[in-house]
A = this chain, B = another copy of it.
Amino acid sequence: MDKLQGIIPPVITPLTQNGDIDPTGLSKLLNHLNSGGVHGLFILGTTGEGPALGMERQKEMIRQTMRLKAGALPVLVGISAAALEDSFTLAEFAYEQGADALVCAPPCYFLPGEDELMDYYRTVAANVRLPLFLYNMPSMTKVLMKPSLVLRLAEIPNIRGYKDSSGNMCDLHEILLGLKNRNDFSIFVGPEELLAEAVLFGADGGVAGGANLNPELFVAMYNAAQNGDVMEMRRLQAAIYRQRRLYSIGRYQSSIIKGIKSALSLKGICEDVMATPFHHFLSPERQQVDNLLQTMS
């Protein structure tokens, strides 16, 4: 695998009304993303509701993505789970289906300490047949991977990248500086509102949830940051924040995914069905999403 760079959307998982993977919706979504110029796909992450889908639907999402994706876009597959054996099952299936890399957050029920987490990633990295990305997602896993730990983890063989969804730009700067000589290691930033500065200071790209909706916007920001085009970065940052008003509709942590799915549904790309325990937006929130889409178009 060449070094990954650019915008790799955390692809939402289109579901039918009875909760199955929806190949039609997925096909439209992948075409939409491909047309938008993204540089890869990350499925079964947090935005993809991976851990809530269960094993069979996760496998089906891998299978359909590999079947439907256009062109040579690399595919990264989330394998985060509470049980290591589930991560291995997903990793092996992703390998067999031709995926390009794996992304693994710390286990989600028991909270490992730092040494335990080193052991965990050593075990995962040594037993999978694809390059592995670290996934720092403290809002879900409750484990904050500090820069000093990330630098240690980055030395494990087969660990080839890092996705930082901590939202902590101070930590990310430290990691970027610490790994700047690693040509074989990719660093991606999760929060889309930090994409510009992360890339400006050396990150390889972003895993922007909002790219599900508007991939061009984030590809443009990636390019602007790569080129150091400050005026363009400011203009696009304002556009990103306009779109982010979507996330303030509804309540609870789940409203970001609900908002994206609701907007994709209004755009005719896929249904807005959520995996349990979450429900899609009902009429009042959906109307707000619609109003917002009008102002942005």
Contact = CB atoms under 8 A, between A and B. Distances in A.
Interface of A: 46, 49, 51-57, 80-86, 107-113, 115-117, 119-120, 123, 139-142, 167-170, 173-174, 177, 191, 193-194, 196-197, 200-202, 228, 230-231, 233-234, 237-238, 241, 251-254, 275-279
Nearest to A116: B277
B173 A241 contact: yes
A110 B53 CA distance: 11
A276 B109 contact: no
12 contacts: A55-B55, A57-B85, A113-B253, A120-B276, A167-B170, A169-B193, A170-B193, A174-B241, A177-B237, A196-B197, A200-B200, A201-B234
Nearest to A142: B142
A121 B57 CA distance: 22
Given A110-B278, A117-B277, A169-B169, 17 more contacts: A46-B109, A52-B82, A52-B83, A54-B83, A108-B108, A109-B141, A111-B139, A113-B253, A113-B254, A116-B254, A119-B277, A120-B277, A167-B169, A173-B193, A173-B241, A197-B197, A200-B200
Contacts of A52: 82-84, 107, 109-110
Contact of A252 (B82, B86, B116, B142): B116
Nearest to A107: B277
A109 B51 contact: yes
Contacts of A112: 252, 254, 277-278
Given A193-B170, A277-B117, A277-B119, A110 B177 contact: no
Contact of A173 (B55, B116, B120, B237): B237
